[in-house]
DNA sequence: ATCATTGATTTCTCTAGAGAACTGCCTCAC
DNA sequence: GTGAGGCAGTTCTCTAGAGAAATCAATGAT
C-alpha cells in the first residue's frame, strides 16, 4: 500500500549544503568570503566531522567553493575571459550586440609558457584528418594574471611545414598562420568541436584546477580554401575562466 | 633543512582511484561494466568503508563512473549527440570534413516535453538585450532515447509576438522562426555565448544528471537583418550528451 | 503465467575519534 | 627590523561500526 506521499527529508549534509548554497547565491556570502568550516558546522549542527565534510564537499564539487588547506573554505570567484570564435577570426562581422553574461571584455594580457615543439606520430583521429600520421606538434600553456587558463596542442602535417619557422619556438611576426600563408596554405575555413567534461588528473595539475571545475575541450581544424586540413589544434580551457562566443548568419 | 625531495606518496584512496581510472581509460573496463564496490575494495585493500567510498567518489566526481544505489558502480557511457551551430542554421556551408570526436551523427529522434508558455517580466540581462522587460517565455525539455538532454528557455519581446502562435503551445509548421518571419522579424544573425559549469540542483533534477556531470550553458540571441534582437534562448545541455560544432570562414 | 514476498547484496548516511599536514599569526632572539 | 621558532586553528586522511534504503533475483502463492 502506498503511504501518503511524504516528501522525504533530504539528509542532514544536504540540508546544510543547501543552506550554504543559498547564502552564496543570494549574495550573503560573496566572492572570496570564508564559509563556516568543519569545526563550526560540527558545533552549530551537532554533527560528526565526516558529515560536516560531506556538506562542504557538495559545494566544492559544485564549483561554488574552494578549500584552502590549513585555512578554510572560501567562496569561489568567477571572472571569465571572453573568447570569440567566428568573430575573432573573421573579417569583422555585422555585429555589435549586448552580451548576456558578464565577462572581462578589456583584453587582459596573457603570457605563454611551456612552449614545446616535437616531431611525433599523431594519434588516429588526428592522422585521419590531416591525411597522415607524421606531424609537428606545438604545445603551449596560456596564463592570465599569472594563472594558467588554457593548454593548447597544435598539430601540423610534417611534410607541409618541414623546415619552416613553425618547427621552431619563435614563429615570427603573424604567428603560424602567417607562415602557413607563405607556404601557400593559408587557412580559410575552420571547424571547432566543443565538449565539456571533468578534467583528467594531468590537466588538473597543468591548469591548477580546484575540485569541481570542469574543462572545455575544443578541437579546431583549419582548412585551406581548397579544403586541405593544415592544422588540428586541441585546446583545454579552464571552464571557470572562459565564456565562448560565436557569431554567425542565418 | 630541506630533506631530499621525496615524492610524497599519494594517499590510499587516491592510489586506488588511480588504478581504477587506469583500468577504465585503458579499456580493461568498458562502457557499462561494473567496477569493484565498497565491500570488494575493503576486502582486497584492507581498508575501512569510508576510505573505499572516497576512492569511488573520486571517479564519480570525475564523471568516469556512475553509482547505482543497491546495485553497484558502473563505468560511465559516453555517446554524445552532435549539435551544429553555424552549419545547422546556415544555408549549407562549404564544408564536409572529418570529425575529431566520435558522436552519433545519424539524427536520433528527440521528443519534447514539459512545454510551458508564460508571459513574464524578464531578468535584467535579458531585458537589456531585448529592449524591454515584457516577454513571452517558452520553456521546453528535450529527450533522446527517453533520457532528458537539454532544457531550453526562450524569450520573445511581448509587444512583438503578442497574439501570434508563438504565445500558444503549437507554433505550427516551421516553428517559431517561421512565425517570426511572418511578423516581419525573420532572424538573420545569431550570437551564441557558451559556458560550462557544474549544474544547479534544480538542473540536476530536470536533466536527471549523475554526479560528476557538468552542463553546457548556451545563451543564443537572434537578430533581424536590421539588428533588432527578437529572441533570447537560454539552453542548458547535459555535457556528457553533446558535442557542439561550429563551422566558419576566416 | 502473474504477482507478491522474501532475502542477499549493495550503496547511502551518520557517529566517534585520532593523527598528519598545512596556514597564518605571534613572540622572541639577534 | 628581521628572521626563526612555536602555537593555535584548519583541512585532510583514515579507522571501526551501524542502520537505512534501494536493487535484484529467487521463491511461493494465486
Q: For strand B65-68 and strand B72-75, is the pairing parallel, antiparallel, or unpaired?
A: antiparallel
B38 is near strand C: CB distance < 7 Å: yes
Q: Which of A63, A215, A248 sits opposite B89 (nearest CB)?
A: A248
Q: Which nucleotide is nearest to B9 (CA to C1')?
A: D13
Nearest residue to A192 (alpha-carbon basis) of A217, A216, A220: A220
Measuring alpha carbon to C1', the residue closest to nucleotide D10 is A70
Q: What is the pLDDT of residues B124-171, one digit of tens each?
A: 999 999 999 999 999 999 988 778 899 999 999 999 999 889 999 888
Chain A CB contacts of B243 under 8 Å are 193-195
Distances (CA, A) of B37 to A138, A169, B33: 41, 48, 12
Quote the pTM value: 0.88
Q: What is the pLDDT, as a whole number, of residue B91? A: 36
CA B85 – CA B83 distance, rounded (Å)? 6
Mean pLDDT rounded to a whole number for chain B:
87
Backbone angles phi, psi at A106, to 5 degrees: -55, 125
**What are the residue boundaries of the structural domains of chain A, listed by start?**
12-75, 81-245
Select from A126, A128, A214 the Cβ nearest to the Cβ of B214.
A214
**Can you tell me whether residue A56 is helix, strand or coil?**
helix
Nucleotide nearest to B53 (CA to C1'): C11
pLDDT in tens, B79-115: 788 888 876 444 333 344 566 676 665 566 778 876 8
Cβ atoms of residues A79 and A104 within 8 Å: yes
pLDDT above 90 as % of chain B: 64
Calpha distance B224→B11 (Å, rounded): 58
Strand C atom within 7 Å of B7 CB = no
Is there a contact between B196 and A192 if contact means CB atoms under 8 Å apart? no
Q: Which pLDDT score, from 0 to 100, does residue A77 have?
A: 82
CB contact under 8 A, A100 and B187: no
The answer to whether B142 and B112 have CB atoms below 8 angstroms apart is: yes
pLDDT in tens, B69-80: 999 999 998 878
Instruction: Give pLDDT, residue A219.
Output: 96
A81-245 CATH fold: Chorismate lyase (3.40.1410)
Residue found by looking up cell 615543439 in the block: A117
> How far apart, in whole angstroms, are the C-alpha atoms of residue B139 and residue A93?
31
Distance CA A31, CA B159 (A): 38
- Which residue from A223, A235, A236, A218 is spatially nearest to A130, judged by alpha carbons? A223
pLDDT tier at B191, thresholds 50, 70, 90: very high
Which among A189, A223, A250 is the nearest to B190, CB-wise? A250
- With a 7 Å cutoff on the CB, does B39 touch strand C? yes
Q: Residue A229, exposed/middle/buried by CB under 10 A (0-12, 13-18, 19+)? A: buried
Please give the Cα distance from B101 to A8 (Å, whole number): 42
Q: What is the pLDDT of residues A123-156, one digit of tens each?
A: 999 999 999 999 999 999 998 877 889 999 999 9
Contact A239 B101 (CB under 8 A): no
Phi, psi for residue B94 in degrees, rounded to 5: -70, -25
- pLDDT tens, residue by residue, A17-43: 999 999 999 989 988 899 999 999 999
CB B118 within 8 A of CB B137: yes
What grid cell was written down for B230? 527578437
Least confident piece of the model among B6-20, B177-191, B211-225: B6-20
CATH T-level fold of A12-75 = Arc Repressor Mutant, subunit A (1.10.10)
Which residues of chain A neighbour B215 with C-beta distances below 8 Å?
A: 196
Q: Cell numbers at residue A248, please?
A: 554567425
| Closest residue in B to A102 (Cα–Cα) | B125
Amino acid at each position: 500500500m502506498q503511504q501518503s506521499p511524504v516528501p522525504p527529508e533530504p539528509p542532514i549534509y544536504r540540508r546544510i549544503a543547501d543552506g550554504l548554497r543559498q547564502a552564496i547565491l543570494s549574495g550573503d556570502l560573496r566572492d572570496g568570503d570564508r564559509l563556516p568550516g568543519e569545526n563550526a558546522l560540527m558545533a552549530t549542527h551537532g554533527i560528526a566531522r565526516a558529515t560536516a565534510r560531506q556538506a562542504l564537499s557538495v559545494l566544492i564539487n559544485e564549483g561554488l567553493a574552494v578549500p584552502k588547506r590549513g585555512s578554510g573554505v572560501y567562496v569561489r570567484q568567477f571572472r571569465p575571459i571572453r573568447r570569440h570564435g567566428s568573430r575573432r577570426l573573421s573579417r569583422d562581422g555585422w555585429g555589435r550586440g549586448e552580451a548576456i553574461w558578464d565577462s572581462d571584455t578589456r583584453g587582459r594580457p596573457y603570457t605563454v609558457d611551456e612552449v614545446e615543439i616535437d616531431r611525433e606520430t599523431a594519434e588516429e583521429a588526428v592522422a585521419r584528418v590531416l591525411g597522415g600520421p607524421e606531424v609537428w606538434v606545438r604545445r603551449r600553456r596560456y596564463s592570465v594574471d599569472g594563472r594558467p587558463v588554457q593548454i593548447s596542442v597544435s598539430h601540423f602535417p610534417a611534410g607541409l611545414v618541414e623546415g619552416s619557422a613553425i618547427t621552431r619556438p619563435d614563429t615570427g611576426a603573424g604567428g603560424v598562420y602567417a607562415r602557413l600563408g607563405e607556404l601557400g596554405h593559408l587557412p580559410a575555413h575552420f571547424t571547432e568541436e566543443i565538449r565539456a567534461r571533468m578534467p583528467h588528473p594531468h590537466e588538473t595539475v597543468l591548469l591548477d584546477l580546484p575540485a569541481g571545475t570542469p574543462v572545455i575541450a575544443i578541437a579546431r581544424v583549419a582548412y585551406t580554401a581548397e579544403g586541405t586540413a593544415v592544422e588540428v589544434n586541441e585546446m583545454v580551457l579552464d571552464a571557470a575562466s572562459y565564456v565562448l562566443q560565436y557569431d554567425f548568419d542565418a
